[in-house]
Amino acid sequence: MAAWLIYALLSAAAAALVSIFGKIGLQNIDANAATAIRAVIMALFLLGVIAVQGKFGQLGSILAQKKALSFIVLSGVAGATSWLFYFLALKYGKVSQVGPIDKLSVVIAVILAFLFLGEKISWLNSAGVVLIAIGALLVAMK
């Protein structure tokens, strides 16, 4: 099995746990405050990961690359915005409905990658993206 597929499956499993743990944790607390706490924990955890890997020194070289840093900052803002809305949706909705709608990000990402990154998509891949969209909507319906 390809490394990217293993990592993608692990990402999906971890994301599923985020939904479950988040929904349980959001009971009787503010969703935005919970997201902020989650972000701090994520940052500390990830700093620990790169420290254990011995890659802490690479932070300086990343910070020196203005273009890369700009897009990493934009990615961080987009991620934070996504999680603010995701936790608000979890607070007021069911995981079984919020999760599938959130996965429409896959459809949007493929479209944006095609439009802005010039990534090619075959007819078979296009059909899969359409099915993801239809599936997400069907699962989220009451």
Q: How many CA atoms lie within 13 A of 62 on its CB side?
A: 10
Query: Can you give the pLDDT of all 142 residues of the chain as single tens digits?
Result: 789 889 888 998 998 999 999 999 998 999 999 999 999 999 999 999 999 999 988 988 988 999 999 999 999 999 999 999 999 999 999 998 998 899 999 999 999 999 999 999 999 999 999 999 999 989 888 7
**Res 54: pLDDT:** 94
Question: Which residue, among 30, 21, 14, has the nearest Cα to 84 in the 3D structure?
Answer: 30
- Residue 128 has a pLDDT of 95
Residue 69's pLDDT is 92
pLDDT at 141: 83
What is the CA angle 39-108-98, rounded to 5? 55
pLDDT for the residue 1? 76
pLDDT at 107: 94
